[in-house]
Structure 1
């Protein structure tokens, strides 16, 4: 055993397990732990480190790891370790000290307040610096927090509202595919409500659906968390039984080229099922056979007016059998996937080529047999409210 005043490390084997058994916080106490070798890292939380370590040692997917670092404090409680677990997953995924973060469920799904949370979160920097001194992290929190991959990470913990909307959209997708119909999820939300973060979180969950473990529902205390994992398990069963294990083909449409490049780089750096080729422009929807298309900033989808590239607009329209003078990019998307998830704010349509609110609604009316409405209301960027 070695480590700091708040982190103890053990060899990840039976000798380490036997040593852990004599540690006063090894049984019946909330802790966070990091199991790793030089390349791979798994982060977890438990109220019984000895039992959990034994379970991981019997897991063929993790028993090749070499060391376990256990973070402990006599002031820890269950809420703290859930928070620290999720924060460690997010920061470690951006830090890049480890090539692979093995976590699939991202820790707790939604942000929960708890007693003295601000105090515990202020202690997190001290914990992070301890991990740096042990060679388990490379960069400062400040540097990590200023990276795009941190801001748009699939490991972002959602608010309760965001988590509920994300879960409802997954249920919409299940309904579409299990009942073999076309479906649309329309998410209304003003600037700063986290539409992009919610979209990336859902895409990440869908891309890792097959990795959902049978007993994973029991890992969460919150009802929405349990509902989301249960929905993903249902989706996993559908993929295995009805699609012979073939994952969904998913595209993430971003109309604005600059933002598209940013998110493409985020997907490239994230890995864990996310690849940069998933991030596409409106004209790309005809290039693959998509099962699900997500469209961020769908209010920026265009019609044939004041464009810099009329030819590509006309070519794409004709490829779909649509009249270039009567169609628009929203109609393209609705024609190119079985289920479409649209993130929309009518007040952010700013160019003459953007669809007006009435044009947007008229297009939806042509395809809205199974239209599901959702709303993000809470403004996250400032304290000024609406």
Structure 2
């Protein structure tokens, strides 16, 4: 198929009919026409790049016939120049390494678009050459005084373009994945930092926990160093976080790095601020009165927040202490006694991971209320 595009030089809109005098002057007495070919081909791949073992190589090619027409009117002449594009009768061959293939060719906007699917290429440097081949007919003609001379010449057209790429057949490597910290929760967040590398470049690093997955933070700009903040659902059991990476040609890590967050099995710490004495000995007021003893202390936990602080007087009911600051860091108990004697007060805390119970109390205070003889 041939498609034309007129690009006239001077006035007019294209090739002139030699029997017409557009200027009203002397009749045309001579014409000449020259047609010659131009062609080109290009591979649409970066000149230095990495590809995976399977990829598409594609590009464009064109065959252009350039025509010059000259028509003379007595003492004046007119030149017209235009192009036509040939899109049939040519083939594109592809050499991938040492193997030759014929590309698939289609027509797009007066050009040839070609492509070839490469499958399972070996890792390493790979040379790719695209070659356009075909034959065109160039011609020259001249008419003077009604006599025409015409000459044609078949011309072989051959154009090539080459590119070298590196086939990356391996996925990236997560070199390090280190647990830096787990925030006191809930909410719990595991802070993990690490490194990743790949010869074609790392495109992303992701963490995976159960059905959750999210992109890590690119600390270095090229993923050589990364950081992730991962929400943990709880700390009543261990959690294993997997870290994977993807390189710039689409490969994933063959084996994800793993970081295990152990369960929180440590009980909170409860300390007594007042009274300092143990046993606490004091006089009981007169019979029929009630003695109230304020007991104050602190509670802390390095892994989970405190859920509650509880206490019991002897074998009485379990009661919750007063949460002074809202986070159980300071607590208070107002213990009431209606008769003299010896009493035991037990205080314990439980954290959000379920650690801490009356069976392992932190505070056991003995109170002795005496009557003055």
TM-score, normalised on structure 1?
0.21
The structure whose Rg is larger is 2
User: Which has a greater percent of strand?
Assistant: 2
Higher relative contact order (CA 8 A, sep 6+): 1
